[in-house]
């Protein structure tokens, strides 16, 4: 399960994610993180069965969490199978099948947005 975790700048200086790993024993995969002058935001992946525990612990530490049920949204009707998204995606989300039709493995997406900008047919958007 993917979660977006947001914490204040003050919290951003503290190891919130590391603290939750230590407290819960749950292994957390940090897929993307960004900290600016006001707040920090991280995209993390946790085992489905531990999601509630991780969220509760993070929120007890002052962070907010949001569950992501979808990541990259693909509009098959707009896609022309040009392959531009395949070459730009750092996560190998896209590939061609035997018939050279685009296939999408949404679970690998880290919401970087590169493919959305690269697609000439506006077939891709992000679930934010």
Site string for ligand SF4, 66-105 (x = CB under 6 A): ------x------xxxxxxx--xx-x-x--------x---
Q: What does the block give as tokens for 68?
A: 């992501």
- Give yes or no for residue 53 binding ligand SF4 (CB under 6 A): no
CA–CA distance, 79 with 26 (Å, rounded to integer): 39
- Give yes or no for residue 28 binding ligand SF4 (CB under 6 A): no
Task: Put residue 16 in one of left, alpha, beta given phi > 0 → left and psi -120 to 50 → alpha.
Answer: alpha
Size of the site for ligand SF4 (CB under 6 A): 25
Element spanning 88, H or E: helix 84-88
CB 36 to ligand SF4: min, Å:
20
What 3-state class would DSSP assign to 83? coil
Contacting residues toward ligand SF4, per CB under 6 A: 72, 79-85, 88-89, 91, 93, 102, 109-115, 118-119, 121, 123-124
């Amino acid at each position: 399960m993917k979660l977006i975790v947001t914490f204040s700048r003050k919290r951003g200086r503290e190891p919130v994610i590391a603290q939750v790993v230590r407290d819960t024993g749950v292994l957390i995969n940090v897929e993307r993180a960004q900290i600016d002058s006001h707040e920090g935001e991280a995209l993390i992946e946790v085992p489905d069965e531990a999601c509630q525990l991780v969220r509760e612990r993070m929120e007890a530490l002052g962070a907010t969490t949001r569950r992501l049920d979808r990541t990259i949204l693909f509009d098959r009707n707009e896609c022309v199978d040009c392959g531009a998204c395949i070459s730009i995606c750092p996560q190998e989300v896209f590939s061609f099948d035997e018939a050279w039709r685009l296939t999408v493995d949404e679970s690998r997406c880290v919401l970087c947005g590169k493919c959305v900008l690269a697609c000439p047919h506006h077939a891709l958007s992000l679930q934010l």
